[in-house]
């Protein structure tokens, strides 16, 4: 595996479900990011981790809970989501927080909340 991988690629969940998105980067990077991409809107930064420490929470509702057990893995735990949370969730990584201008993205998880 190379680059940034994300699983699952597609997810359909009900509003009462709990699910998790997984991201893994094979680039030796130390910063990882979660973004939300909705139709007709710019990418929205959700969370940033640098050397496993969360450095930014961009006013994300608590129904989204990130976890970064090590520099290579990032999770996004989801619970009691709303239909408006349906979107493409993208993970990205960079060498560290100083190299935010050179981020590499995974393929995304297409989430549908029913």
Partner 1 sequence: QKEVEQDPGPLSVPEGAIVSLNCTYSNSAFQYFMWYRQYSRKGPELLMYTYSSGNKEDGRFTAQVDKSSKYISLFIRDSQPSDSATYLCAMSALQGAQKLVFGQGTRLTINP
Kindly tell me which of 1 and 16 has the beta carbon lying closer to partner 1: 1
User: Which one of residues 74, 108, 111, 113 is an interface residue with partner 1 (CB under 8 A)?
Assistant: 108
User: Which one of residues 19, 67, 73, 107 is an interface residue with partner 1 (CB under 8 A)?
Assistant: 107
Q: Which secondary structure element, helix H or strand E, spans residue 88, and what is its range?
A: strand 87-94
Give the contact letters, 20-59, x = binds to partner 1 (CB under 8 A), - = no. Answer: --------------------xxxx-x--x-------x-x-
Looking up tokens 């997984």 gives 22
Task: In angstroms, give the least distance from the CB of 36 to partner 1.
Answer: 11
Q: Tell me if residue 65 falls in helix, strand or coil.
A: strand
What radius of gyration, in Å, describes the C-alpha atoms of the chain? 13
Asked if 99 interacts with partner 1 (CB under 8 A), we say: yes
Token pair of 15, please?
Answer: 């509003």
Looking up tokens 């990032």 gives 74
Q: In whole angstroms, what is the distance from residue 56 CA to residue 26 CA?
A: 22
Name the site residues for partner 1 (rule: CB under 8 A): 4, 6, 40-43, 45, 48, 56, 58, 90, 92, 96-108, 110
């Amino acid at each position: 595996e190379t680059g940034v991988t994300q699983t699952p690629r597609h997810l359909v969940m009900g509003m009462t479900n709990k699910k998790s998105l997984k991201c893994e980067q094979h680039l030796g990077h130390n910063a990882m990011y979660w973004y939300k991409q909705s139709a007709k809107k710019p990418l929205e930064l959700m969370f940033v981790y640098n050397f496993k420490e969360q450095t930014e929470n961009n006013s994300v509702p608590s129904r989204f809970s990130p976890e970064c057990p090590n520099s290579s893995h990032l999770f996004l735990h989801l619970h009691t989501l709303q239909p408006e949370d349906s979107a493409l969730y993208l993970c990205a990584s960079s060498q560290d927080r100083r190299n935010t201008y050179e981020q590499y993205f995974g393929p995304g998880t297409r989430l549908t909340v029913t």
